[in-house]
């Protein structure tokens, strides 16, 4: 018995030591300083830190008091070194994140966060009951209700770059950098902001808007506001825009989760991912903070920009009548959208739609650049613009056509029953409602999200100051999975109702 214990104790010790060495010592000894391209993981889901049972390796950001003070040079991400990070083996919990809305305590904010001009600014102590009351009250105007609902959780930080405009004309467009993000993605979003500030926004000073389905933590807001000289505004999403509609059959939703899970589809069983996709499809442009804006630039955590952008892309969009733009175009996972094409054709038929761009998304039966006889209107070619980067017009989404398309799609319940992404929906809407000239490919933006990276060749260029890390081997533009060639060689075809009807009939016939 004693021997068994001994062996067990020694084995456990050795295993523990090896794990400790691999997970804790190695990363920090080989990377003593964090540069802006390094990433520190605070997020057990998204950084692939392995965990067993409910034990995860959790990073706790410990910022020494001098780094956390107001004297910190604003507009700079605090220079963090490995000493600022203390890692410990802990149970599943991420530091500083309010689990419930009731836990929010704003009394410890150190930066000068303010309420927004013209918004409610005094609230009862119990924010959650205040919110519930607002939700129960009938308002004549939805926007008023949303403002009342989210105001207690909305904070604004005036960036010091605004001083410049006191004595200079402000030629900025009505535009903002729009970020949907979670508290636990603090490091990843600081990474993205550092890149965007360096490559573009340090000169252009566009404000940031941060949205979340839960209130932002003090820590999140403090760090993020210090990472830019621009204005930053933090808010939550109105409940109505992040909820399961009452006619959704949750039993069916759950049983479909299992089907996708068996097929190994990412986020097969994630409800929050579905909320996110639905929000990005049909609600973000209704958020009260975007009310007076014309354009947005969508920014996601953990992306890279490789090149300087030496002009204002919002001005470019306005002057050239562009309404939607992209940098990466790729193929969607078919199993996440089994009926999206059919529903889109039904919509196109029902609204007697004609379009010169929609055939870009139909399956090709002959390769480009051939004659356009070769489209199969019954099938989606799965090409879409990757929506984690987008610069686009908000009025495009606010148009009655787009709203009607979204409402129709939403009425099918397939944001939940299937796993429709916002990217194919934005793209198909572009195809339905825009023409080729209103769409733009930002070739001069070098960009990475996940493992997909693309840039204007060469990898290092003086012309627009590109630097692509040596470790990135493949320019995705040239990969088989990229739809860029397809976009560049597109030939207009006048899609009309007969194409929608033929597509539908063939699709239904093929199914039997
Ligand atoms: N506030 C909040 N943001 C979310 C939630 N889920 C996703 N997001 C944000 O939505 C964006 C995309 O979510 P991810 O989970 O990173 O999805 P992804 O793996 O990039 O998805 P693909 O682009 O499809 O590969 C990121 O900006 C996330 O921060 C959520 O539940 N709450
Ligand atoms: C805020 O500060 C007070 C007093 O300094 C402290 O007791 C409290 O725990 C702090 N709250 C949070 C959420 O950090
Ligand atoms: C905080 O900001 C508001 C609005 O920008 C300003 O009026 C106020 O003077 C600031 N307070 C401090 C202490 O800086
Ligand atoms: C920045 O915020 C201030 C208020 O703090 C506001 O007056 C100004 O218009 C904002 N600038 C932009 C570009 O949103
Ligand atoms: C703006 O100009 C006025 C008058 O010339 C000057 O007094 C003030 O200091 C200037 N403000 C800034 C922020 O430069
Ligand atoms: C197309 O729409 C018309 C009118 O709404 C409808 O009668 C017809 O059945 C639709 N065609 C198909 C193939 O669904
Ligand atoms: C459908 O649209 C076409 C072209 O826009 C038009 O000529 C036709 O009359 C419309 N048909 C119906 C039934 O509205």
Q: Is the residue at 257 inside a domain?
A: yes
* Residue 489: strand, helix, or coil: coil
CA–centroid distance, 242 to ligand 1, in Å, is 13
Q: What is the CA radius of gyration of the chain?
A: 25
CA–centroid distance, 294 to ligand 4, in Å, is 16
> Could you say which ligand is closest to the alpha carbon of residue 95?
2
Q: Of all protein residues, whose CA lies closest to atom 1 belonging to ligand 1?
A: 212
**Helix-then-strand count for the chain, H and E:** 17, 19
Our mutation pick for probing the ligand 4 site, out of 116, 121, 231, 312, counting the most ligand atoms within 8 A of Cβ, is 231
Q: Of all protein residues, whose CA lies closest to atom 12 belonging to ligand 3?
A: 112
Our mutation pick for probing the ligand 1 site, out of 43, 181, 304, counting the most ligand atoms within 8 A of Cβ, is 181
Paired residues of 165 in beta bridges: none
Any idea of the CA torsion for 13, 19, 21, 24, to the nearest 10 degrees? Answer: -130
- Determine how many CB atoms are found less than 10 A away from the CB of residue 171: 9
Paired residues of 440 in beta bridges: 325
Which residue is catalytic, options 149, 390, 474, 492?
390
DSSP 8-state symbol, 1: -
CA angle 361/365/368 to nearest 5° reads 75
Ligand 5 atom, smallest distance to 164 CA: 13
Q: For this structure, is 185 an active site residue?
A: no
Q: Is the residue at 121 inside a domain?
A: yes
CA–centroid distance, 379 to ligand 6, in Å, is 18
State yes or no: cis peptide before 326, omega within 30 of 0.
Answer: no
Give the helix/strand (H/E) hosting 282.
helix 271-282
Q: What is the DSSP string of 283-304?
A: TGGG-GGGTT-SEEEE--SSEE
Q: Is the residue at 80 inside a domain?
A: no
Distance, in Å, from the CA atom of 318 to the CA atom of 322, rounded to the nearest integer, reads 6
pLDDT at 370: 46
Q: Is the residue at 138 inside a domain?
A: yes
pLDDT at 76: 34
The whole-number mean pLDDT for each consecutive block of 10 residues of the chain, a chain of 512 residues, reads 57 61 47 31 37 28 34 35 34 48 81 96 91 94 97 97 97 98 96 97 98 96 97 97 97 97 96 98 98 98 97 98 98 97 98 97 72 80 98 98 98 98 98 98 98 97 94 96 94 95 95 82
Domain count, the chain: 1
CB of 105 shorter than 6 A to ligand 2: yes
CA–centroid distance, 405 to ligand 3, in Å, is 44
Query: How many angstroms separate the first and last alpha carbons of the chain?
Result: 66
Q: Is the residue at 331 inside a domain?
A: yes
Q: Is the residue at 90 inside a domain?
A: no
- Output the CA–CA distances (angstroms, integers) from residue 441 to 94, 141, 371, 390, 444, in the order listed: 38, 38, 24, 10, 9
CA–centroid distance, 118 to ligand 3, in Å, is 16
Model-level pTM? 0.83
Q: Which of 188, 221, 189, 490 is nearest to 369 (CA)?
A: 490
> Could you say which ligand is closest to the alpha carbon of residue 175?
4
Distance, in Å, from the CA atom of 121 to the CA atom of 176, rounded to the nearest integer, reads 23
Ligand 2 atom, smallest distance to 108 CA: 1
Q: Is the residue at 293 inside a domain?
A: yes
Q: Of all protein residues, whose CA lies closest to atom 14 belonging to ligand 2?
A: 108
- What's the domain range around 136? 113-510
Extract the tokens encoding 144: 């008023």
- Pocket lined around ligand 5, Cβ cut-off 6 Å: 163, 166-167
* Model pLDDT for residues 494-512, shown as the tens digit of each residue: 999 999 999 999 999 998 7
Ligand 3 atom, smallest distance to 158 CA: 5
CA–centroid distance, 218 to ligand 2, in Å, is 11
- Say how many residues make up the chain: 512
Ligand 5 atom, smallest distance to 167 CA: 1
The CATH number of the domain holding residue 118 is 3.90.550.10
Ligand 5 atom, smallest distance to 166 CA: 13
- Determine how many CB atoms are found less than 10 A away from the CB of residue 379: 19
Q: Is the residue at 16 inside a domain?
A: no
Distance, in Å, from the CA atom of 446 to the CA atom of 463, rounded to the nearest integer, reads 13
Whether 160 and 230 have beta carbons less than 8 Å apart is answered as: no
CB-based burial of residue 506 (10 Å sphere; 0-12 exposed, 13-18 middle, 19+ buried)? middle
Which runs of consecutive H residues, i.e. helices, occur in 112-265?
A: 127-136, 142-150, 186-196, 202-204, 218-226, 250-262
């Amino acid at each position: 018995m004693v021997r068994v214990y001994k062996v067990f104790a020694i084995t456990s010790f050795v295993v523990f030591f090896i794990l400790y060495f691999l997970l804790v010592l190695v990363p920090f000894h080989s990377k003593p300083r964090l540069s802006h391209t390094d990433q520190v993981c605070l997020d057990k889901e998204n950084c692939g830190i392995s965990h067993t049972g409910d034990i995860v390796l959790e990073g706790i950001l410990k910022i020494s008091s001098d780094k956390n003070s107001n004297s910190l040079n604003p507009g700079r991400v605090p220079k963090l070194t490995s000493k600022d990070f203390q890692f410990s083996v802990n149970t599943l919990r991420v530091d500083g994140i309010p689990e419930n809305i009731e836990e929010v305590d704003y009394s410890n904010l150190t930066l000068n966060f303010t309420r927004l001009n013209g918004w409610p600014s005094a609230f009862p102590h119990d924010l959650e009951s205040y919110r519930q009351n607002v939700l129960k009250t009938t308002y004549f105007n939805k926007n008023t209700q949303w403002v009342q609902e989210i105001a207690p959780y909305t904070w604004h930080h005036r960036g010091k770059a605004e001083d410049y405009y006191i004595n200079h004309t402000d030629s900025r467009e009505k535009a903002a950098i729009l970020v949907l993000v979670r508290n636990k993605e603090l490091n990843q979003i600081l990474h993205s902001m550092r890149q965007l500030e360096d490559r573009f926004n340090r000169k252009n000073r566009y404000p940031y808007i941060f949205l979340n389905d839960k209130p932002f933590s003090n820590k999140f807001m403090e760090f993020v506001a210090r990472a830019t000289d621009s204005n930053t505004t933090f808010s939550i999403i109105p409940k109505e825009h992040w909820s399961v509609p009452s006619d959704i059959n949750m039993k069916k939703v759950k049983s479909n989760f299992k089907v996708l899970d068996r097929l190994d589809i990412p986020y097969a069983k994630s409800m929050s991912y579905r909320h996110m996709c639905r929000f990005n499809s049909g609600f973000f442009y209704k958020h009260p903070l975007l009310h007076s804006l014309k354009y947005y630039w969508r920014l996601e955590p953990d992306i890279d920009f490789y090149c300087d952008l030496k002009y204002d892309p919002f001005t470019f969009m306005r002057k050239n009548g562009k309404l939607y733009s992209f940098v990466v175009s790729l193929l969607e996972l078919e199993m996440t959208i089994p009926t999206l094409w059919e529903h889109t054709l039904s919509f196109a038929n029902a609204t007697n739609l004609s379009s010169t761009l929609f055939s870009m998304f139909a399956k090709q039966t002959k390769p480009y650049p051939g004659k356009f006889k070769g489209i199969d209107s019954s099938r989606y070619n799965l090409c879409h613009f990757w929506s984690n980067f987008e610069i686009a017009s908000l009025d495009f989404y606010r148009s009655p056509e787009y709203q009607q398309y979204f409402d129709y799609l939403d009425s099918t319940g397939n944001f939940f029953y299937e796993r429709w992404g916002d990217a194919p929906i934005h793209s198909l809407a572009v195809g339905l409602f825009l023409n080729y000239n209103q769409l733009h490919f930002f070739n001069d933006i070098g960009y990475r999200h996940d493992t997909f990276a693309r840039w204007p060749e060469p990898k290092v260029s003086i012309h627009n100051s590109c630097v692509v890390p040596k470790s990135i081997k493949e320019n995705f533009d040239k990969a088989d999975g990229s739809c860029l060639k397809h976009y560049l060689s597109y030939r207009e075809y006048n899609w009309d109702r007969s194409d929608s009807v033929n597509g539908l009939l063939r699709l239904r016939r093929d199914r039997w």
